[in-house]
Amino acid sequence: MTTAEAGDQPDDGEPRTPGRLRRRASRLLSQLTARSDRLINEGLARVDARKWHYAVLASLHEYGPGSQAALSRRTGIYRSDMVGVLNELAERDLVERTPDPADQRRNIVTISAPGRRQLRRLDRVLDDLHDELLAPLNPAERDQLVQLLTRLLDHHTRTP
């Protein structure tokens, strides 16, 4: 544990972030998330994708076709934003949107063969990007982080 206490003193000139600020979990989260988001977005943009694409494709692959509303619930994307995401995916022929014969309000969304291919591709891209994101941590520490974050998110999801 000699590597501990990272980020305490800036070696260069002036800009010293107050300690009270530096160790607030909320600040660490938002600062890190800003960088993480940028990293992921840029990485996905390079293969003409966005993270919502991944979420929808993964959900379709793991749980099969579903209505837009169901996809919203599974992915956490608001159903108002889902429209646009599905438009983008349909443009690229990664999913198909067909009316549900059993319920005329519903569209049934299905993943296509190219969609499955793209999903595998995105999985690899995301693996690489996460390797970059988590570079300073060893595998055990990465697990630890995921565990801690999951527990927190879980708590705040169940207890709104």
Binding site residues, a second copy, CB under 8 A: 3-4, 6-7, 14-33, 35-37, 39-40, 51, 54-55, 58-59, 61-63, 70, 73-76, 123, 126, 129-130, 133-137, 141-142, 144-157
Q: Which is nearer to DNA, 41 or 112 (CB)?
A: 41
Q: How far is the CB of 154 from DNA (least distance, A)?
A: 16
Q: Which is nearer to DNA, 52 or 59 (CB)?
A: 52
Among 106, 116, 130, 142, binds DNA (CB under 7 A): 106
Rule CB under 7 A: say whether 34 interacts with DNA. Answer: yes
CB distance 151 to 158 below 8 Å: no
Q: What contacts 51, CB < 8 A, 6 or more positions away?
A: 40, 41, 44
Among candidate residues 110, 97, 96, the one with its CA nearest the CA of residue 63: 110
- Binds 92, which of DNA, a second copy, none (CB < 5 to 8 A, cut-off by type)? none
Q: What is the DSSP letter of 92?
A: T
H helix intervals, the chain: 19-22, 25-45, 51-63, 68-75, 79-91, 113-133, 139-158
Q: Binding residues for DNA, per CB under 7 A? A: 30-31, 34-35, 37-38, 41, 50-52, 67-70, 72, 77-83, 86, 97, 103-107
